[in-house]
């Protein structure tokens, strides 16, 4: 990793604003925020009506979102269909590699009305899939209210969590369309990545979600400490019957550089995943995304921004065109809008929807983002879908039907 990249990563302590020419330190940002009145007036919303989800309603929500994707592709225009919203700046854990560096974030979180307004505007722009991210999203006291608001608008809702608060908050999140819990590997590696004792807590949350029949996915971030745990995770997924997704560690904070795999280790771990997938284990990371990562033509740890002209001819047959920053956006907890998490490190200069409105913040991303390729597995899974890749659509429909009828 180059020195300037490390610099950016250290600057993450000023939240997602690192690299912005507006702020060089948290103090500078605080000073600015104090003097600046919010430019976007936020309405007051009434409490959301109750919402009870069922397998059929989940199928319908997925159908609505597919329909929106088809409409968007047929329109020939880029507009948002999927949004990842970082719903809060706080986390009750301190995972060694976490790009969010949440203990160092001091920003105030969105109010309930701000979040509802954001969802409202995104819905009006065409968004039909919302992923509530964090920090630890379940720390929000209004998580049930926000979930009901999103579901009452007919959008597909995914929440990703570390699972620690699930025993307390099960009732508030039981009506999501997809609950993703993060577990990185077996006890030793997982706890090295995510903190001592987290393996047992997460396993308990997985069991609880399964007992409650929630549409569960498990997401594993593979690092040097968990790269030998693909077989453990695959066997666990098979035994407990949950859907398993893999991610590769990207741009870890300086303190977690030891978790970074070498290029050879990454390729070996990708081969292992493909082997278990071919054996029929419930691994839902798609083969084209795994292949695109395996064939990645650059150093995984060196180059994170690849423009169109930099995609080598020999890689074109594996390349998954990127729709992040075109139809999918990441909205940080402080209001800044990015193409994706990989660009929240200072490599992209964002605009803030609370200052300029969501339309301008989104169109700023659309006009300024020049990154066109990456080896990130979950990103490319979504890219295949956003690009209307026929096999990926068939794959996701099959997955949804299995989920609806509890077939795996
Ligand atoms: C940022 S967390 C937020 C949600 C929740 N707190 C959790 O842990 O699932 C979402 C996911 O990002 C992953 N993640 C965090 N830092 C990462 C990094 N540097 N590279 C790849 N994935 C990372 C986590 O492992 C987790 O699966
Ligand atoms: S990965 Fe999730 S649980 Fe871990 S520190 Fe980051 S936000 Fe918190």
Q: Is 100 in the pocket of ligand 1 (CB under 6 A)?
A: yes
pLDDT band for position 34 (cuts 50, 70, 90): low
Q: Is 162 in the pocket of ligand 2 (CB under 6 A)?
A: yes
Please check the confidence at residue 15 and state whether its pLDDT lies above 60.
no
Please check the confidence at residue 392 and state whether its pLDDT lies above 50.
yes
Name the residue of 12, 16, 93 to mutate for ligand 2: max ligand atoms within 8 A of Cβ: 93
What pLDDT score does 17 carry? Answer: 38
What would the mean pLDDT of 268-276 be, rounded to a whole number? 98
Q: DSSP letters of 377-405?
A: HHHHHHHHHHTT-HHHHHHHHHHHHHHHT
CA of 103 to the centre of ligand 2 (A): 10
Residue 311 structure tokens? 């995609």
Domain ranges of the chain: 3-404
What pLDDT score does 127 carry? Answer: 98
Q: Is 395 in the pocket of ligand 1 (CB under 6 A)?
A: no
What would the mean pLDDT of 184-196 be, rounded to a whole number? 97
Strand pairing of 328-331 and 243-248? unpaired
CA of 198 to the centre of ligand 2 (A): 11
DSSP reduced 3-state for 194 = helix
Q: Is 95 in the pocket of ligand 2 (CB under 6 A)?
A: yes
> Which pTM does this prediction carry?
0.91
Ramachandran area for residue 3 (φ above 0: left; ψ -120 to 50: alpha; else beta): alpha
DSSP state of 353: H
CA of 241 to the centre of ligand 2 (A): 24
Alpha helix (H) residue ranges in 104-183: 112-125, 143-152, 166-173
What would the mean pLDDT of 34-60 be, rounded to a whole number? 85
Q: Is 217 in the pocket of ligand 1 (CB under 6 A)?
A: no
Q: Using CA atoms, how far apart are residues 376 and 306, in angstroms rounded to an integer?
A: 13
Strand pairing of 336-338 and 328-331? antiparallel
What pLDDT score does 291 carry? Answer: 97
Q: Is 354 in the pocket of ligand 1 (CB under 6 A)?
A: no
| Proportion of the chain above pLDDT 90, given as a percent | 70
Nearest to 189 by CA among 163, 161, 222, 236: 222
Ligand 1 atom with the shortest distance to the CA of 93: 6
- 35-39, 107-111, 209-213: least confidently modelled range: 35-39
Q: Helices then strands (H, E): number in the chain?
A: 15, 9
pLDDT band for position 3 (cuts 50, 70, 90): very low
What does CATH list as the number for 3-404? Answer: 3.20.20.70
Torsion angle in degrees (nearest 10) through CA of 54, 58, 64, 65 = 160
Please check the confidence at residue 22 and state whether its pLDDT lies above 60.
no
DSSP reduced 3-state for 181 = strand
What would the mean pLDDT of 274-293 be, rounded to a whole number? 96
Q: Using CA atoms, how far apart are residues 394 and 401, in angstroms rounded to an integer?
A: 11
What would the mean pLDDT of 346-357 be, rounded to a whole number? 85
Task: Supply the mean pLDDT for the chain.
Answer: 88
Kind and range of the H or E element at 292? Answer: helix 287-294
Cα 96 → chain centroid: 18
What pLDDT score does 16 carry? Answer: 41
98-116 pLDDT per residue, tens = 888 787 777 778 999 999 9
Residue 176 CB-half CA count within 13 A:
33
What pLDDT score does 38 carry? Answer: 55
Q: Is 198 in the pocket of ligand 2 (CB under 6 A)?
A: no
pLDDT band for position 348 (cuts 50, 70, 90): confident
* φ, ψ for residue 180, nearest 5 deg: -105, 125
Q: Is 119 in the pocket of ligand 1 (CB under 6 A)?
A: no
What would the mean pLDDT of 192-218 be, rounded to a whole number? 97
Q: Is 215 in the pocket of ligand 2 (CB under 6 A)?
A: no
Ligand 2 atom with the shortest distance to the CA of 135: 7
What would the mean pLDDT of 189-203 be, rounded to a whole number? 97
Q: Is 259 in the pocket of ligand 1 (CB under 6 A)?
A: no
Residue 370 structure tokens? 């020049």
- 82-86, 204-208, 272-276, 402-406: least confidently modelled range: 402-406
Nearest to 222 by CA among 252, 201, 180: 252
What pLDDT score does 337 carry? Answer: 94
Of residues 375 and 400, which shows the higher confidence score? 375
Please check the confidence at residue 5 and state whether its pLDDT lies above 80.
no
Nearest to 406 by CA among 62, 169, 56, 53: 56
Please check the confidence at residue 406 and state whether its pLDDT lies above 80.
no
What would the mean pLDDT of 151-170 be, rounded to a whole number? 97
DSSP state of 306: B
Cβ atoms within 10 Å of 271's Cβ, excluding its own: 12
pLDDT band for position 252 (cuts 50, 70, 90): low
What pLDDT score does 100 carry? Answer: 82
Of residues 11 and 340, which shows the higher confidence score? 340
Maximum mean pLDDT: which of 34-38, 243-247, 350-354 = 243-247
Nearest to 131 by CA among 353, 341, 292: 341
* φ, ψ for residue 385, nearest 5 deg: -70, -45
What pLDDT score does 349 carry? Answer: 86
311-336 pLDDT per residue, tens = 999 999 999 999 999 999 999 998 89
DSSP state of 243: E
CA of 94 to the centre of ligand 2 (A): 6
Ligand 1 atom with the shortest distance to the CA of 91: 6
């Amino acid at each position: 990793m180059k020195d300037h990249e490390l610099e950016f990563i250290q600057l993450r302590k000023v939240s997602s604003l690192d690299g912005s020419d507006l702020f060089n330190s948290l103090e500078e940002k605080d000073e600015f925020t104090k003097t600046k009145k919010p430019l976007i007036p936020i309405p007051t919303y009434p409490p959301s009506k109750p919402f009870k989800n069922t397998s059929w309603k989940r199928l319908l929500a997925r159908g609505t979102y597919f329909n929106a994707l088809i409409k968007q592709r047929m329109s020939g225009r880029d507009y948002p269909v999927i949004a990842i919203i970082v719903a809060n700046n706080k986390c009750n854990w301190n995972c060694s590699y976490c790009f969010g560096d949440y203990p160092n974030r001091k920003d105030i979180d969105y109010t309930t009305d701000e979040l509802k307004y954001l969802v409202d505007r995104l819905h009006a722009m065409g968004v039909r899939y919302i992923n509530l991210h964090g920090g630890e999203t379940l720390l929000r006291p209004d998580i049930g209210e926000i979930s009901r608001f999103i579901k009452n608008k007919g959008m597909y809702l995914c929440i990703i969590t570390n699972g620690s608060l699930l025993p307390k908050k099960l009732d508030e999140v039981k009506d999501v369309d997809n609950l993703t819990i993060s577990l990185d590997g077996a006890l030793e590696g997982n706890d090295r990545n995510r903190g001592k004792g987290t393996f047992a807590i997460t396993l308990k949350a997985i069991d609880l979600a399964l007992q409650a029949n929630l549409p569960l996915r498990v997401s594993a971030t593979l690092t040097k400490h968990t790269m030998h745990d693909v077989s453990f995770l695959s066997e666990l997924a098979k035994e407990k019957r949950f859907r398993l997704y893999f991610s590769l560690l990207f741009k870890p904070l300086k303190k977690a550089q030891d978790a970074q795999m070498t290029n050879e280790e990454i390729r070996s771990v990708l081969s292992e995943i493909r082997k278990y997938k071919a054996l029929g284990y419930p691994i839902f990371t798609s083969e084209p995304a795994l292949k695109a990562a395996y064939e990645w033509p650059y150093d995984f740890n060196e180059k994170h921004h690849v423009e169109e002209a930099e995609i080598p001819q020999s890689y074109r047959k594996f390349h998954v065109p990127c729709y992040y920053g075109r139809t999918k956006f990441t909205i940080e907890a402080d209001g800044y809008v990015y193409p994706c998490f990989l660009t929240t490190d200072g490599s992209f200069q964002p605009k803030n929807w609370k200052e300029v409105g969501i339309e301008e913040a989104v169109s700023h991303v659309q006009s300024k983002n020049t990154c066109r390729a990456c080896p990130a597995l979950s990103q490319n899974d979504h890219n295949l879908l956003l690009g209307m890749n026929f096999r990926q659509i068939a794959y996701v429909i099959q997955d949804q039907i299995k989920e609806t009828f509890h077939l795996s």
